[in-house]
Structure 1
Amino acid sequence: MLKAFKTHINNNLSFLNKSKLLITVSGGIDSVVLTYLCHSLQLDVSLAHCNFHLREEESDADETFVMQLADNLQLEAFVEHFNTNVYAKTQKLSTQMAARELRYAWFQELAAQLGFDYILTAHHADDNLETFLINLTRGTGLEGLTGIPEINKNIVRPLLPFSRTEIEAYAQENKITWRDDSSNASTKYLRNKLRHDVIPTLKTINPQLLENFSKTQQYLSASKTIIHDALKQVYKRVVTEKEGMLMFDILALKKLSNPKAYLYELLNDYGFTAWDDITNLLDAQSGKSVSSQTHVLLKDRDFLILSENLNSESTPILVNHLEPVKITSGVLSFQKVNDFVDNDLNNIYVDKDLLKFPLTVRTWKKGDYFCPFGMKGSKKISKYFKDEKLSLFAKEQVRLLCSEEQIVWVIGYRMDSRFKITNSTTNILKITLTK
Structure 2
Amino acid sequence: MLPEFLAFINQRTSIRPGQRLLLAVSGGIDSVVLTELIRQSGFPFGLAHVNFSLRGAESDRDAAFVRALAGNLGVPFHYTQVDTHSVAAENGWSTQLAARNLRYDWFAEIREQKGYDWIVTAHHLTDSLETVLLNLVRGTGLAGLHGIPVQNGRVCRPLLCFSREELLDFARNNELEWVEDSSNATTDYSRNRIRHDVLPVLRELNPGLEKTFRGSLDRLSAADRWFQALLIPLHRQVAESGRIDAAWLAAQPEPLLLFSELLRPYGFSYRQAVNIYENPAQQTGRYYFSGTHRLLWDRGVWMLDRADNVYPSFHIEENMPLISAPGFTLTFEKLSHTSFLPGNDPSVAWLDAECLPFPLVLRPWQAGDRFCPLGLGGKAQKVSDYLVDQKIPRNEKNGVYVLESNHEIAWIVGRRADERFKITENTKGIIRVTCQKESSLS
TM-score bracket, shorter-length normalisation: 0.5 to 0.7
Which residue of structure 2 lines up, in the alignment, with residue 248 of structure 1?
244
Matches within 5 A, 1:4-403: 4-13=4-13, 15-237=15-237, 239-241=238-240, 246-269=242-265, 270=267, 272=269, 273-280=271-278, 284-292=282-290, 294-301=291-298, 302-305=301-304, 307=306, 310-311=309-310
Cα distance, 1:3 vs. partner? 3.2
- Taking a change above 3 Å as real, the CA distance of residues 42 and 252 of structure 1, as seen in their structure-2 partners, is same
Cα distance, 1:95 vs. partner? 0.3
The 8 Å contact of residues 51 and 63 in structure 1, kept in 2 or not, is answered as: yes
Cα distance, 1:192 vs. partner? 0.3
Q: Secondary structure at the match of 1:101?
A: helix
Cα distance, 1:137 vs. partner? 0.9
- Taking a change above 3 Å as real, the CA distance of residues 93 and 256 of structure 1, as seen in their structure-2 partners, is same
How many correspondences in the alignment?
A: 309
Greater relative CO (CA pairs within 8 A, separation 6+): 2
Cα deviation code 1:288-322 (max 9, x no counterpart) = 44445x334422423232536833599xxxxxxxx
Q: Secondary structure at the match of 2:101?
A: helix
The 8 Å contact of residues 287 and 297 in structure 2, kept in 1 or not, is answered as: no
Cα distance, 1:152 vs. partner? 1.3
Q: Secondary structure at the match of 2:17?
A: helix
The 8 Å contact of residues 281 and 299 in structure 1, kept in 2 or not, is answered as: no
CA RMSD of aligned residues (A): 2.3
- Taking a change above 3 Å as real, the CA distance of residues 163 and 268 of structure 1, as seen in their structure-2 partners, is same
The 8 Å contact of residues 271 and 295 in structure 1, kept in 2 or not, is answered as: no
Output the CA distance in 2 between the equivalents of 1:71 and 1:62. Answer: 14
Cα distance, 1:248 vs. partner? 3.5
Output the CA distance in 1 between the equivalents of 2:85 and 2:308. Answer: 29
Output the CA distance in 1 between the equivalents of 2:125 and 2:168. Answer: 13
Output the CA distance in 1 between the equivalents of 2:180 and 2:228. Answer: 41
2:295 is matched by which residue type in structure 1?
A: L
Cα deviation code 1:254-310 (max 9, x no counterpart) = 343322101222233536133321313696224544445x33442242323253683
Output the CA distance in 2 between the equivalents of 1:313 and 1:105. Answer: 32
The 8 Å contact of residues 277 and 290 in structure 1, kept in 2 or not, is answered as: no
Cα distance, 1:200 vs. partner? 1.2
The answer for unaligned runs of 5 or more in structure 1 is 315-435
The 8 Å contact of residues 260 and 274 in structure 2, kept in 1 or not, is answered as: no
Output the CA distance in 2 between the equivalents of 1:212 and 1:37. Answer: 25
Cα deviation code 1:195-217 (max 9, x no counterpart) = 01101111121111111111111
Output the CA distance in 2 between the equivalents of 1:20 and 1:286. Answer: 58
Output the CA distance in 2 between the equivalents of 1:105 and 1:113. Answer: 12
Which one has the largest radius of gyration?
1
**Percent identity between the two aligned chains:** 40
2:292 is matched by which residue type in structure 1?
A: H
Q: What TM-score, normalized to structure 1?
A: 0.66
Stretch deviating more after TM superposition (247-256 or 30-39)? 247-256
> Which ranges of 4 or more aligned residues in structure 1 deviate by more than 6 Å?
none
The answer for unaligned runs of 5 or more in structure 2 is 314-442
Cα deviation code 1:28-76 (max 9, x no counterpart) = 1101110111011111111111111011111111111110010011110
Output the CA distance in 1 between the equivalents of 2:287 and 2:181. Answer: 46
Cα deviation code 1:310-359 (max 9, x no counterpart) = 33599xxxxxxxxxxxxxxxxxxxxxxxxxxxxxxxxxxxxxxxxxxxxx
Q: Secondary structure at the match of 1:59?
A: helix
